[in-house]
Amino acid sequence: MTVASIIGGGVIGGGWAARFLLNGWDVRVFDPDPEAERKIGEVLANARRSLPGLSDAPLPPEGQMTFHADMAEAVQGAAWIQESVPENLGLKHKILAQIQAVCDAGAVIGSSTSGFKPSQLQEGSNAPGQIVVTHPFNPVYLLPLIELVPSPANEAGFVEKAAEVLRSIGCYPLHVRAEIDAHIADRFLEAVWREALWLVKDGIATTEEIDNAIRYGFGIRWAQMGLFETYRVAGGEAGMKHFMAQFGPCLQWPWTKLTDVPEFTDELVDLIAGQSDEQSGAYSIRELERIRDNNLVAMMRALKAQDWGAGAILKGHDARLKAGTELVATAADLTEPRPVLTCARAVPLDWTDYNGHMTESRYLDAFAQSTDRFMELIGCDAAYIAAGGSYFTAETHIRHIDEVHAGARIEVRTQMLQGAGKKLHLFHSMYEGARLLATGESFLLHVDLTTRRSCEPGPQVLEGLALMRAAHGALPYPEGAGAAIRRP
Amino acid sequence: MTVASIIGGGVIGGGWAARFLLNGWDVRVFDPDPEAERKIGEVLANARRSLPGLSDAPLPPEGQMTFHADMAEAVQGAAWIQESVPENLGLKHKILAQIQAVCDAGAVIGSSTSGFKPSQLQEGSNAPGQIVVTHPFNPVYLLPLIELVPSPANEAGFVEKAAEVLRSIGCYPLHVRAEIDAHIADRFLEAVWREALWLVKDGIATTEEIDNAIRYGFGIRWAQMGLFETYRVAGGEAGMKHFMAQFGPCLQWPWTKLTDVPEFTDELVDLIAGQSDEQSGAYSIRELERIRDNNLVAMMRALKAQDWGAGAILKGHDARLKAGTELVATAADLTEPRPVLTCARAVPLDWTDYNGHMTESRYLDAFAQSTDRFMELIGCDAAYIAAGGSYFTAETHIRHIDEVHAGARIEVRTQMLQGAGKKLHLFHSMYEGARLLATGESFLLHVDLTTRRSCEPGPQVLEGLALMRAAHGALPYPEGAGAAIRRP
């Protein structure tokens, strides 16, 4: 088991702890705050309900989390050490020295700093090449972006090793090739924050109006294409140069108050805090966190179905998880006389209703995922489908037997009842542990994707079907199969 | 039929035209560009595949679109006139004068300007109170935000009337209470654009790295909560004041290059256009538009299921559409001896696979929507459910008969086969026009939501069931009902 050390809890450190833990790492926490265990526990509870279901593959089993008052105990043997203490360079230097006095020479020390350059953090260190900036975004357990900022003291191999660890826990390491204060993303956040303060101070807009101006318009655009690709599309057929010719000159206009910094008076703070209370005060911070996580999961999974933006990151991570796991059926299962494990996953937040129960139609989503996996096993895989053959579902029968909540780990086992010629008849059983949640019976026909008509499968699939018939032919006909909703 | 005039086609004018048209308005276009009809046609094609399915209720029938070379012909009798000509104050003054010379005195003249203040547009007009800024965001047919900016010359009643029209076509009018150059949203876009130009020019990051820094991190956050609510959550239990105390001082740091404007040399333009080609050049602009629309629809509908942000706007618009339509069953249907219309909607983009066909599990989504509507009709409505009673699906049988594409208008008609005591047995038939696409048979049990066990319904629902039995009792048992997937 690989070990990550989390130095400094809080929202950011807790988010890192949750991401490592749920991706199968053991996590050791060092934080003098007596409340650290409670605070990290709360972040972890949020992560447990939202992170596993982002994936359509099973995460590895959770690691162990332990809390340590002794730095050596916390970091010795750790492959990754994440520093998330407050933004104070003196404090960071002190903590980094304490870490480096006892940690393994091969460990990566990542700093969550949003403002300092890695070369600043490395000042005075005997092993500066071990320290790098890995700046995350809150909530760390959901958002994939990590700004990975090395200095010239970090070797290329070290940077690639750090990037690989980050990818292995589902992150997107953005290698920032030049050190600057605040890296990349926070420079934008800073520019927007500054402008927003002026708008509120000058009484042009309230905090709520500003949030609406963002989230009902360009915020949704940026969530999928960012700034330049969005403008490329806006420029239309005439292209990016045309867009710049149109938009560029506006830079000269007096459209922003960027040259001044509003004075940070008590009055301005009260104005903004008061407006924020009016806007969001009906919800506690815990409620807002859950609402935010529900929204992020739903949007990121929506993007995943499109294989785009943050959703493409999720999809890549799933492929990695599937390759690394033995939980789901392999070709060997073609010969075993037992139902095949065709789906192992967590129930995602966007599959549940307002009560947190899995929604009716999502049972069919899981069964459809099982059918896809079964098809793959018998040889009807992506290459076969690209060549023009596939199966279409003609008929489905679902029995809802018990309820299940978001975050629960479910498994589907599939028995082939018929698989010959054009016909494929499957019986799926969905479990949470030993508890049967639902059964799904599917009758499919093999089709030619060009004519959209049924036809015999190709030799590869006929062979897969024959193997599966040999394996499942003697299994008892399952209880509930062949049932109809009776006429009263 | 209400009439909207679109003065100036292009991407923005075309987007307005599509939004009005698909929301049932007749649209008259005035644009001297000989390519206007083709360009608007392309925007409209994009809108037709993406906009109707955003809604879970049917849109009204499409209006008529006509093209006019004569200004009087284009604007006389129009209730809304939208000006989207290039950002040149002299040109806008000229066009507004032409419009006002012939338009109705009661018409709203909205300008799509992103930079000019309404009082600037109103200069020299005899009827300044008729002109207002209504600044949209591209794609206009999908993003709900419209900055509605009046000057002191616009009366409150006029502004409210304009807002009501915008809401009626699914927009969110953000009433900007003080005129400033570039309103609100574009001040942020300008700040970010300026900072981005520096980062590219200084070689810190490429256009693609900047887009990734946005869309894998804060972009997704902003799509749902904007800036202030996001920071409120980040501040945690200590609240907004604490957050500001932490983050505020950073404003003094040299984190942005906001005081300078990079010189707009050919070199900078080439650098950015070249990087953009590398990032997105594999796709044509048309392809990028479709990808963008798929993403926006999927994310906005994901937010709609959470009833949050732009999704809450969609939900409100659905309620408005449902109230204004007679397409879906009303209480009168309780007594008619025919299957009840329980669902009328377009197939949304996020219900389709990569080939554009509706995905297996989404048939059940539509049938579940029909079941919900049927429950409502027999008295199991939101208030009844809030009081603790509801129906749970125990069993479902689906027959897939024909395929359907994104954007298609589908209808579901529902026959009650049994409705007595705890039991409810429904048979749904899904059509596109006269073409039968699928049938869905559902067996439900009435439950107590506290104990999660089955029980008799309350008197209100028993009464609804009795009425429906009287209406549907003599209907023939439908073909396909009671079927099972047979044992081979």
Residue B420 has which token pair? Answer: 């007595």
Is the pLDDT reported for residue B182 higher than 60? yes
Higher pLDDT, A176 or A306: A176
CA distance B219 to chain A (A): 4
B443 interfaces chain A, CB cutoff of 8 Å: yes
Mean of all residue pLDDT scores within chain A: 88
Indicate the SS3 state at residue A375.
Answer: helix
Is the pLDDT reported for residue B258 higher than 70? no
Cβ neighbors of B53 (< 8 A, separation 6 or more) are B297, B345, B346, B347, B348, B349, B350, B351, B406, B407
Asked if residues A348 and A484 have their Cβ atoms less than 8 Å apart, the reply is: no
In terms of CA atoms, which chain B residue is nearest residue A12? B234
d(CA B392, CA B380): 12
Taking an 8 Å cut-off on Cβ atoms, the answer to whether B223 and A208 are in contact is: no
In terms of CA atoms, which chain B residue is nearest residue A217? B145
A197 interfaces chain B, CB cutoff of 8 Å: yes
**Burial letters A343-375, b for 16+ CB under 10 A, else e:** bbbbbbbbbbeeeebbbbbbbbbbbbbbbbbbb
Superfamily of domain B326-472: Hotdog Thioesterase (3.10.129.10)
Q: What count of other Cβ atoms lies within 10 Å of the Cβ of residue A8?
A: 23
Taking an 8 Å cut-off on Cβ atoms, the answer to whether A216 and B144 are in contact is: yes
Q: Which of A214, A269, A350 is closest, CB to CB, to B188?
A: A214
Give the percent of chain B with pLDDT over 70.
92
Residue A255: C-alpha distances to residues A218, A247, A366, B421 (Å): 17, 13, 51, 67
User: How many residue pairs from chains A and B have C-beta atoms closer than 8 A?
Assistant: 484
Is the pLDDT reported for residue B259 higher than 80? no
Tens digit of each residue's pLDDT (9 = 90 or more) over B384-401 = 999 999 999 999 999 999
Taking an 8 Å cut-off on Cβ atoms, the answer to whether B212 and A203 are in contact is: no
Tens digit of each residue's pLDDT (9 = 90 or more) over A171-196 = 999 999 999 888 999 888 888 887 88
Is the pLDDT reported for residue A118 higher than 70? yes
* pLDDT confidence tier of residue A324, bands split at 50, 70 and 90: low
Mean of all residue pLDDT scores within chain B: 88
Selected for mutation to probe chain B from A299, A300, A426 (highest B CB count within 10 Å) is: A299
CA distance B433 to chain A (A): 21
d(CA A255, CA A204): 13
pLDDT at A68: 96
Superfamily of domain B3-175: NAD(P)-binding Rossmann-like Domain (3.40.50.720)
pLDDT at A194: 79
Residues of A in Cβ contact (< 8 Å) with B166: none
Asked if residues B234 and A160 have their Cβ atoms less than 8 Å apart, the reply is: no
Is the pLDDT reported for residue A246 higher than 60? yes
B124 interfaces chain A, CB cutoff of 8 Å: no
Which of A153-167, A338-352, B274-288 has the highest mean predicted lDDT (pLDDT)?
Answer: A153-167
Q: What count of other Cβ atoms lies within 10 Å of the Cβ of residue A127?
A: 12
> Is B10 annotated as contributing to ligand binding?
yes
In terms of CA atoms, which chain B residue is nearest residue A439? B395
CA distance A77 to chain B (A): 31
Cβ neighbors of B98 (< 8 A, separation 6 or more) are B71
A274-278, A446-450, B225-229, B349-353: which range is least confident on average?
A274-278
Rounded to two decimals, the pTM is 0.86
Is the pLDDT reported for residue A150 higher than 70? yes
Scanning B263-292 for CB atoms below 8 A from A yields 264, 269, 272-273, 275-277, 279-280, 285, 288-289, 291-292
Residues of A in Cβ contact (< 8 Å) with B393: 360, 400
Residue B220 is which amino acid?
Answer: I
Residues of A in Cβ contact (< 8 Å) with B292: 221, 224-225, 230, 233
Taking an 8 Å cut-off on Cβ atoms, the answer to whether A302 and B306 are in contact is: no
d(CA B88, CA B445): 65
Residue A343: C-alpha distances to residues A369, A395, A414, A431, A437 (Å): 7, 20, 9, 10, 14
* pLDDT confidence tier of residue A6, bands split at 50, 70 and 90: very high
Taking an 8 Å cut-off on Cβ atoms, the answer to whether A213 and B147 are in contact is: yes
Is the pLDDT reported for residue A370 higher than 90? yes
A213 interfaces chain B, CB cutoff of 8 Å: yes
Taking an 8 Å cut-off on Cβ atoms, the answer to whether A193 and B392 are in contact is: no
Selected for mutation to probe chain A from B220, B266, B400, B447 (highest A CB count within 10 Å) is: B220
* pLDDT confidence tier of residue B55, bands split at 50, 70 and 90: confident
Is the pLDDT reported for residue B227 higher than 50? yes
Asked if residues A409 and A469 have their Cβ atoms less than 8 Å apart, the reply is: no
Which of A46-60, A470-484, B148-162 has the highest mean predicted lDDT (pLDDT)?
Answer: B148-162
Residue A297 is which amino acid?
Answer: V
In terms of CA atoms, which chain B residue is nearest residue A306? B295
- 3-state SS of B132-144? EEEEECCCCCCCC
Residues of A in Cβ contact (< 8 Å) with B278: none
Closest by Cα among B353, B58, B311, B394 to A350: B311
Tens digit of each residue's pLDDT (9 = 90 or more) over A132-149 = 999 999 899 999 999 999
B450 interfaces chain A, CB cutoff of 8 Å: no
Q: Where are the domains of chain B?
A: 3-175, 185-282, 326-472
Is the pLDDT reported for residue A264 higher than 80? no
Tens digit of each residue's pLDDT (9 = 90 or more) over B103-147 = 999 999 999 999 899 999 999 999 999 999 999 998 999 999 999
In terms of CA atoms, which chain A residue is nearest residue B372? A360
d(CA A42, CA A4): 19
Asked if residues A404 and A358 have their Cβ atoms less than 8 Å apart, the reply is: yes
**Same fold across B185-282 and B326-472:** no
Higher pLDDT, B146 or B189: B146
Residues of A in Cβ contact (< 8 Å) with B437: none
Q: Which of B195, B205, B310 is closest, CB to CB, to A216?
A: B310
Q: Which CATH number fits domain B185-282: 1.10.1040.10, 3.90.226.10, 3.40.50.150, 1.10.10.10?
A: 1.10.1040.10
* pLDDT confidence tier of residue B270, bands split at 50, 70 and 90: confident
Residues of B in Cβ contact (< 8 Å) with A43: none
